[in-house]
């Protein structure tokens, strides 16, 4: 019995941690495609092909439900996968919608027309591929009117995190926040639209200042998943919990241990 959690690499561990805390009785099978990370600099077809392959592996291992704990995959592949048809009894969900529902003060499944919300100036920090997809703005437009979104493509941060170079990652955060402020001097809220970025949340908050509300995606996704599993208790699957990687299992396990601060053992996917 396990729910699949997919990310291009280690960023999805921020989501895994939040869902494990929120749902201690649910088992999870994590898949990090570290051999192909970062996804954020790939084109949409490439991200789709890699995501589809990884999700199929998780389905083959008995997961009925797979969460794309990766904004880039959610932006470039989720809708296409859902539209091209899923095998019987299998589901895939992304991480965008819970965030947008929180930003627009909506309950799950509230399909009422778009309305005005308090947050008028929102900064979005995401990978180049997520920014190019405009998926965030599209989902937001279904739910809110009059929100000015300034997106900053944050090249380099994911590579630095995957390499464990947090000093470089911090310097890149500062320079991307500066670039954003040149376009939008006073954002009210900032969305960390990449699951790697919560690992740099303090650096983002410090660079943005205390008046900017930094929205944490992981907890919002955990709440949404809890709600989904109450309504679909049969989606727990039959798979075994664990950690899979397409990268070097020893190296990835070491990096994951630094992030989660506990021993985890990745196996070859
Ligand atoms: N962590 C992923 C995301 O949320 C992807 C980062 C990448 O591989 O570029 O966008």
Neighbouring residues of 178: CB distance < 8 A, sequence distance ≥ 6: 207
User: pLDDT value at position 108?
Assistant: 64
What are the pocket residues of ligand 1 if the criterion is a CB atom closer than 6 Å to any ligand atom? 7-9, 11, 37-40, 70-72, 127, 130, 158, 194-196
Please, what's the largest Cα pairwise distance for the chain?
A: 50
Return the CATH number of 2-94+218-268, one of 3.40.50.720, 3.30.1300.10, 1.20.1250.20, 3.40.50.1860: 3.40.50.1860
Question: Where, residue-wise, is CATH 3.40.50.1860 in the chain?
Answer: 2-94+218-268, 97-215
Residue-wise pLDDT tens digits, 26-78: 999 999 999 999 999 999 999 999 999 999 999 999 999 999 999 999 999 99
Point out the ligand 1 atom lying closest to the alpha carbon of residue 195: 4
Q: Of all atoms in ligand 1, which is nearest to the CA of residue 126? A: 10
Span from the CA of 171 to the centroid of ligand 1 (angstroms): 18
The mean per-residue pLDDT over the stretch 130-154 comes to: 92
Beta bridge partners of 93: 67
Binned at pLDDT 50, 70 and 90, residue 117 comes out as confident
- b vs e for 147-172, b when ≥16 Cβ sit within 10 Å of the residue's Cβ? bebbbbbbebbbbbbbeeeeeebbeb
**pLDDT > 80? residue 216:** no
- Architecture per CATH, 97-215: 3-Layer(aba) Sandwich (3.40)
Q: Is the pLDDT of residue 268 over 90?
A: yes
Q: What integer is the mean pLDDT of 103-132? A: 87
Ligand 1 centroid–CA 43 distance in Å is 13
Average of per-residue pLDDT across 190-195:
94
C-alpha 112 to ligand 1 mean position (Å): 31
Centroid of ligand 1 to alpha carbon of 188 (angstroms): 24
pLDDT of residue 98: 85
| Residue-level pLDDT at 255 | 93
Residue 83 has pLDDT above 90, yes or no: yes
**Which percentage of the chain shows pLDDT scores above 70?**
99
Which residue lies with its CA nearest to atom 9 of ligand 1? 40
**Residue 253 predicted with pLDDT over 90:** yes
Residue 76 is classified by DSSP as: I
Mutate to test the pocket of ligand 1, among 32, 38, 192 (most ligand atoms within 8 A of CB): 38
Ligand 1 pocket mutation pick from 30, 32, 40, 201 by most atoms within 8 angstroms of CB? 40
Q: Look at residue 109 and tell me whether its pLDDT is greater than 70.
A: no
Residues known to be catalytic: 70, 194
């Amino acid at each position: 019995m396990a729910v699949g959690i997919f990310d291009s690499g280690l960023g999805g561990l921020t989501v895994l941690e939040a869902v494990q805390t929120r749902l201690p009785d649910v088992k999870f099978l994590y898949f990090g495609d570290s051999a192909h990370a970062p996804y954020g600099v790939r084109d949409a077809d490439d991200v789709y092909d890699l995501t589809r392959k990884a999700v199929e592996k998780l389905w083959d291992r008995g997961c009925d439900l797979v969460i794309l704990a990766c904004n880039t995959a959610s932006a470039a592949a989720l809708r296409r996968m859902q539209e091209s048809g899923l095998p019987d009894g299998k589901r895939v969900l992304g991480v965008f919608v819970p965030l947008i529902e929180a930003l627009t003060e909506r309950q799950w499944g509230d399909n009422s027309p778009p309305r005005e919300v308090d947050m008028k100036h929102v900064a979005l920090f995401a990978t180049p591929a997520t920014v190019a997809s405009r998926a965030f703005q599209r989902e937001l437009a279904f739910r809110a009117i009059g929100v000015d979104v300034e997106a900053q493509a944050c090249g380099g941060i994911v590579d630095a995190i995957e390499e464990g170079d947090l000093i470089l990652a911090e310097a890149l955060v500062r320079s991307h926040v500066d670039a954003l402020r040149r376009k939008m001097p006073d954002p009210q809220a900032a969305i960390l639209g990449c699951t790697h970025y919560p690992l740099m949340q303090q650096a983002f908050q410090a660079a943005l200042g205390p008046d900017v509300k930094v929205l944490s995606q992981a907890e919002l996704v955990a709440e949404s998943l809890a709600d989904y599993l109450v309504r679909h208790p049969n989606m727990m699957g039959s798979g075994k919990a664990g950690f899979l990687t397409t990268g070097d299992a020893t190296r990835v396990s070491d990096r994951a241990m630094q992030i989660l601060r506990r021993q985890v053992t990745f196996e070859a996917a």
